[in-house]
Every structure is written in C-alpha cells, then in structure tokens.
C-alpha cells in the first residue's frame, strides 16, 4: 500500500454524495464541509466585527495566491474578478482593434460568453472570425492554421469544451498564434481544479476561469491571468479604485493602474465569495492537483469504457490527452434523459443532444454504476 490521499475521507466532506450520484461538477461543484464552514465564518465575522477591510484584503490576496500556485503563475499575474466574463471584458477593454490587427479568432467550442464579448467589440473595429469544428465536434489544428494570420489580434480558445468535453491542442495553437504575432486567451473554466495546468509552460498570454465548478468554491468570483510581459503594455479602459496602483490614494484626478494584473480588477472585491473560494482552493491544494487529476482521469476513463460497453454513444474522445473531466453521452432527448436520471438521484446536466456526466475526485465507480443503471433503464432516450 502506498500512502496516497484518503479518498473516502475526501468524499465524506461532501454530504450531498450521501443522497445523490452527483456528476454535474462542470455545472457547479459540490459544497464541501470546509467551504460551508468558511461561508459561515463570513457571517460570524460580519456579526462580530461589522467591518474588517484588513482581514478581507488578506482573503482576497489568499485567493490570488492560491490561483497563482495552482496554475504555476505569479500572484502579480492574477486579477481576482467577479466572473470569467468580467475578466474577458476587462481584457477586451485594453485591446486595440482600430488598426490592421483587428481580428479575433474565436473557436466554436467557446462558452457563449467567450464569443459574445468579442462580438460586443465589433463597434470598436473588431472582426470576429469563428473557427469551426469538424464533423466529430473537434477542432483540428489545421482549422486554426487557416484562420490565424497577420490580422489576428487574439485567439479565444477553450481548454475543455463545455459541450462535448473535448480538449484542444493548446500548445499547437499557441505556436501558430505566436509565429503570426497573435495573442492567445485560454478559457480554463471546465478544467481548472480537475486537470493539471501550467500556464507558464503552455505559453498562453491570458487565461480566465472561476471558482464555482472544479475549484469547489462559489459563484461570484473568478480570475484573469495576464502573462507578465503584457501587463504594463495593456491599460484597461474598464477600471475602478481596486485597479489602481494605490487603492487608498482616492485620487479623482487621474487613473493610475496597478503595475500588476490587479489593473484588470474594478471595484470592491467579492468579499463573501473570497471566503468560499479560498477554502475551495485549499481543499484542492491540500490533496494536490496531481493526485486529483490522476483520479479524475482514471474514474472518467473507466466510466467511458463501461458506458461504451453498455452501448452508449460518446461524443467525448477516449484518448486521455484530448479530454477532461466530462463525458458527453448522445441522446435523442437530452433534457428528458437528464430529468429522468435526476428522478433516480443521478445528477447530470445536458447541452444540445448530449447529457454531460462531469466527474470530480469525490466521485467513485459507484456513481458510474448509478449512471449506467439509469441510462439503461431509459435506453429509449439513448442515441
């Protein structure tokens, strides 16, 4: 026996699992006892102290530090935002689209927000070019090769697609983009907390995500990573007092952005959400993202093999390199199938013609058993 993490003890931190086979962590991660305690602590602190800007500032910084450590980034490269959308908007506000480099190449696997915000820049001169999937729902590198050229300012890319769980070749896209002078924004919302991610090694210029899914925190807090060389060169026009070099300066006569990625923040930090986010990230870091990623990979891989044996058609690639924590199962009526599974205590989510089973390290083969039993009981809805 090797002394790996005590997965049974980890699972026991999530009371919902006593009642449900919960396979919807890519929709919203489960509330763990330590995160619940942190949220209660926020209320106790409010009742006890009323105001605690010093303590709240420390929690805000702890979230920044935790995100940075998890992603092999420097805390100065992390803006703590209120959502992934807020981070993308702040970044967009700092980019110029008036010259010949006005194109934003947007993959068709983006979450809607990651495309809509770029379309919102069209009145500022941005030209959005969509990068299509192939027939299997994946985006081969050639499609990026074709779309990225000397007019491309930015490539918007998602690490793990929310619709089919497929991963893109991030290194390949970064290589092509950088050769042609374009920047890369990577959306890691569907992978952070479930996969090992080294942003420095990947070489992306920007990344966004949030705390409510595999990071086990809550909605209302997210992050934007800005690689160090870009920080000083980009001045967001979406700003605020928490984006200033000196938050306490209270200077109404000038905008003096922070020399760090904090310049992409805006107003009062999401204080209560930072309590939960810090506790969620701590849960991940205490076990270690390496063991968590390995367990998610194994549990999900075994589930894929068993689902295929049971006759399900999977939209997610089986190769570990090209998938994340999500298994997408084709259905003739995914909404109805998800509802029927929920009635049996199996919680999944659905998009288009697929139900999505999204695994975290607290899931076991027993959750897969319940999923397969439920699917076979409703095989009339399998495609």
The minimum distance between CB 311 and ligand PLP, in angstroms, equals 29
Binding mask 15-54 for ligand PLP (x = CB under 6 A): ----------------------------------------
Residue from the set 25, 121, 158, 258 that interacts with ligand PLP by CB under 6 A? 158
Binding mask 125-144 for ligand PLP (x = CB under 6 A): --------------------
Nearer CB in complex with ligand PLP: 81/260: 81
Structure tokens of 179? 């050769």
Binding mask 254-293 for ligand PLP (x = CB under 6 A): ----------------------------------------
CA distance readout (Å), 15 to 218, 320, 352: 16, 30, 30
Map the footprint of ligand PLP across residues 66-125, applying CB under 6 A. Answer: 83-85, 111, 113-114
The minimum distance between CB 214 and ligand PLP, in angstroms, equals 10
Nearer CB in complex with ligand PLP: 52/196: 196
Nearest Cα to Cα of residue 75 among 206, 210, 260: 260
- In 3-state terms the chain splits into helix, strand, coil percentages (rounded to 5) of 45, 15, 40
Nearer CB in complex with ligand PLP: 139/375: 139
Nearest Cα to Cα of residue 79 among 274, 260, 280, 267: 260
Nearer CB in complex with ligand PLP: 29/32: 29
The minimum distance between CB 194 and ligand PLP, in angstroms, equals 12
| 187 touches ligand PLP (CB under 6 A) | yes
Cα–Cα distance between 31 and 238 in angstroms, integer? 32
What is the sign of the dihedral through the CA atoms of 266, 270, 274 and 276?
negative
Q: Give the number of residues written for the chain.
A: 383
Strands 127-131 and 346-347, how do they pair? unpaired
The minimum distance between CB 253 and ligand PLP, in angstroms, equals 33
The minimum distance between CB 84 and ligand PLP, in angstroms, equals 4
Beta bridge partners of 346: 21
The minimum distance between CB 111 and ligand PLP, in angstroms, equals 3
The minimum distance between CB 80 and ligand PLP, in angstroms, equals 12
Please count the residues of this chain forming the interface with ligand PLP, following the rule CB under 6 A: 13
The minimum distance between CB 189 and ligand PLP, in angstroms, equals 3
Structure tokens of 331? 């259905």
Nearer CB in complex with ligand PLP: 104/372: 104
Cα–Cα distance between 219 and 28 in angstroms, integer? 9
Which DSSP string corresponds to 150-191? TTEEEEEEESB-TTT-BBP-HHHHHHHHHHTT-EEEEE-TTT
- Contact indicator for 234, 226 with CB cutoff of 8 Å: yes
Nearer CB in complex with ligand PLP: 224/382: 224
Nearer CB in complex with ligand PLP: 244/273: 273
Nearer CB in complex with ligand PLP: 114/217: 114
Nearer CB in complex with ligand PLP: 24/314: 24
Q: Which residues contact 43 (CB under 8 A, 6 or more apart)?
A: none
Alpha helices in the chain (DSSP H): 7-11, 33-49, 53-70, 84-94, 113-119, 141-147, 170-179, 199-202, 228-231, 271-287, 289-309, 334-343, 365-377
Element counts in the chain: helices (H) and strands (E)? 13, 12
The minimum distance between CB 226 and ligand PLP, in angstroms, equals 17
The minimum distance between CB 168 and ligand PLP, in angstroms, equals 12
Nearer CB in complex with ligand PLP: 210/374: 210
Structure tokens of 301? 């891989």
Residues that bind ligand PLP (CB under 6 A): 83-85, 111, 113-114, 158, 162, 187, 189-190, 210, 222
């Amino acid at each position: 026996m090797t002394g790996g993490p005590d997965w049974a003890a980890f699972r026991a931190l999530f009371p919902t699992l006593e009642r449900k086979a919960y396979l919807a962590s890519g929709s919203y991660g489960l509330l763990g006892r330590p995160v619940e305690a942190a949220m209660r602590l926020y209320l106790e602190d409010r009742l006890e102290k009323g105001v605690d800007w010093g303590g709240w500032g420390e929690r805000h910084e702890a979230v920044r530090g935790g995100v940075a450590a998890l992603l092999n980034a420097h805390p100065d490269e992390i803006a703590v935002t209120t959502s992934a959308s807020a981070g993308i908007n702040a970044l967009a506000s700092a980019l110029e689209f008036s010259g010949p480099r006005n194109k934003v190449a947007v993959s068709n696997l983006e979450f809607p927000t990651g495309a809509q915000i770029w379309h919102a820049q069209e009145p500022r001169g941005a030209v959005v070019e969509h990068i299509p999937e192939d027939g299997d729902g994946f985006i081969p590198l050639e499609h990026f090769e074709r779309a990225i050229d000397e007019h491309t300012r930015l490539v918007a890319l998602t690490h793990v697609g929310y619709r089919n769980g497929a991963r893109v070749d991030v290194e390949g896209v970064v290589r092509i983009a950088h050769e042609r002078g374009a920047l890369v924004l990577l959306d890691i919302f569907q992978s952070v907390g479930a996969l090992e991610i080294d942003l420095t090694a990947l070489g992306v210029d920007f990344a966004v995500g949030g705390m409510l899914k595999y990071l086990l925190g809550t909605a209302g807090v997210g992050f934007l990573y800005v690689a160090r060389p870009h920080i000083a060169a980009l001045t967001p026009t979406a700003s605020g007092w928490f984006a200033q070099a000196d938050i306490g300066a209270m200077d109404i006569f000038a905008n003096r952005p922070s020399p760090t990625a904090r310049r992409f923040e805006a107003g009062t930090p999401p204080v209560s959400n930072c309590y939960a986010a810090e506790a969620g990230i701590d849960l991940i870091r205490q076990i270690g993202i390496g063991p968590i990623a390995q367990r998610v990979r194994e549990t999900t891989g075994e589930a894929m093999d068993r689902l295929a044996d049971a006759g399900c058609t999977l939209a997610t690639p089986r190769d570990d390199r090209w998938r994340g924590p999500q298994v997408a199962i084709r259905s003739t009526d995914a909404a109805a199938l998800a509802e029927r599974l929920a009635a049996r205590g199996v919680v999944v989510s659905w998009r288009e013609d697929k139900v999505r089973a999204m695994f975290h390290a607290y899931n076991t083969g027993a959750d897969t058993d319940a999923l397969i039993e439920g699917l076979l009981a409703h095989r009339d809805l399998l495609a």
